[in-house]
Structure 1
Amino acid sequence: MCHEMEKIYSEGMESGEKRGELKAKKETILSLAEMGIPVNQIAKAVNLSEKDVQKWIDENLCAMK
């Protein structure tokens, strides 16, 4: 039973770390976009597709309206 609990805990920690990394990437993307950096350069900087980067920028602009 202890092994199973350790596995569940480890999976939860990994999931939390991934969410934290994603949040940090989104914040970076938005900051760079506000500075006027082109989407293709932002995508390279955060190692994501231009499509995903543009989607997050667009979502943020909609949320601000």
Structure 2
Amino acid sequence: MCYEMEKIYSEGMESGEKCGELKKAKEIALSMAEEGMDVKMIARLVKVNEKEVQKWIDESLCVMK
């Protein structure tokens, strides 16, 4: 494989891993929210900013309605 193709492949793999990690963090955060945990605490534990966690929770509530 040429250098450019290897680079593209590596970047794609990294991107996929980050996406998977973020998806798992979202699932965990939503579970914690369902248990009544504070947004600030959830954000700290899943290592995502509070605004993002709150967005996930709000989106989840909209889907449930």
State the TM-score, normalizing by the size of structure 2: 0.92
Secondary structure of residue in 1 paired with 2:36: coil
Q: Which residue of 1 aligns with 2:22?
A: 22
User: How far apart, in 1, do the equivalents of 2:38 and 2:19 lie?
Assistant: 25
Q: CA deviation at 1:25?
A: 0.6
Deviations 1:29-49 (A, max 9, x none): 100001111111101101122
Q: CA deviation at 1:63?
A: 1.3
Gaps of 5+ in 2: none
Q: Which residue of 1 aligns with 2:60?
A: 60
Percentage of pairs with the same residue: 69
Aligned pairs, how many? 65
Q: Which residue of 2 aligns with 1:45?
A: 45
State the TM-score, normalizing by the size of structure 1: 0.92
Gaps of 5+ in 1: none
